[in-house]
Structure 1
Amino acid sequence: MSVLDAGQEDTPWQAKFPTPRTKEPGAITRDELLARFESGEKGGQDFLLVDVRRTDHEGGTITHSTNLPAQTLYYSIPSIYNLLQSGKIPLVIFYCGTSRGRGTRTAAWFNDFIEDQRKAGSESDDGFMIQSVILKGGIKGWVNAGEEYQKWMTAFEPDYWTQFADLRL
């Protein structure tokens, strides 16, 4: 054990943060996201697409994604919310490898924050509302859906993804 590791326990990263109140955030399918891309919509303009992977952020990412690792995202939620409000971006989509862990947790945290803002009366005067969802199947489901999806990736490395070819998401 190094000096840097002294005193650290093997607790999961999410143990430092509150359990989300939202149990099942909404979801968008890869087909729905692909349709948005094909219609000319862009991440950061029409929606915010957030890749919450950290150490497994390999093999490429979905085009127009912003990488905000789940392990550090919680404290940034108010700032992200304010950016979405001021930019009138109505949808934030979170994903990780499969969107069953970190993606779901971060979307739920964000949804909790949205609900807290509504209860506090902090929503927009013009009725603008933000929705927080996950990308069903995550990036592994996106890649395994085939070339039609893979062409919408940045820094795509096909060899990396062969290890996940048998996953059904």
Structure 2
Amino acid sequence: MTTSNPGLGAKEVEKPWHAAYPAPKTTAAVITRDKLLSWLNQGLVAGVDFVLVDLRRTDFEGGTIRGSVNLPAQSLYSTIPTLYTLFSTAGVRNVIWYCGSSRGRGNRAAGWFADYIKEQKDSEMDSLTLEQGIKGWATGGDEYVRMMDEYVEAVWK
């Protein structure tokens, strides 16, 4: 997006929200949709055995993976220490981040969280990016769609 100041006649390019924060030092590990689906089919429960974090701006569109929590990415960076404390106190060992494709907000957040885990010298918790994000999940077939809340087929066609 560009904005212009009529008094100066110059256009200014608006920086993306994440430019205010350092780039992640760590590339978080990736979890495939197949692996996550196998966890769910084995009876592992999102919010208990692992945490799914949906970072989409339009999280209401098309549905979410069952058990996901939604966080606005713009406020995520400053809350990482609090999230880490909550998750580690609850015994969570895997935190899975995703956005639409997991090529932007999802992998950036997973990297920041992985950085923080390393700073804490925690070898028990992992920060993971869901490969292909919600788009990959929702278009993966019926076995994936059955694991979604508020699935709207038309959004994914």
| TM-score in terms of structure 2 length | 0.88
Matched, 1:147 2:150: no
How much has 1:100 moved relative to structure 2?
Answer: 0.9
Structure 1 residue 157 displacement after superposition: 0.7
Please report the RMSD computed on the Cα atoms of aligned residues, expressed in angstroms.
1.6
1:7-39, Cα deviation, whole Å (9 max, x unpaired): x961101011111111x2101100000011111
Shift of 1:55: 3.4
Aligned partners of 2:52 and 2:96 also within 8 Å: yes
Structure 1 residue runs of 5 or longer lacking an equivalent are 2-7, 163-169
Q: Out of 126, 140, 155, which is 1:131 matched to?
A: 126
* Residues 73-152 of structure 1 aligned to structure 2 (within 5 Å): 73-118=76-121, 123=122, 129-152=124-147
Query: By percentage of residues, which structure has more strand?
Result: 2
Deviations 1:78-127 (A, max 9, x none): 11101111111100000011111111100000001111111xxxx4xxxx
Please give the TM-score of this superposition, normalised by the length of structure 1.
0.82
Aligned to 2:6: none
SS in 2 for 1:84: helix
- Structure 2 unaligned spans of 5+: 4-11
| d(CA) in 1 for partners of 2:21, 2:58 | 19
Aligned length: 147
Deviating beyond 6 angstroms after TM superposition, the runs of 4 or more aligned structure 1 residues are none
Report the AA paired with residue 104 of structure 2: G
Identity among equivalent positions (%) equals 47
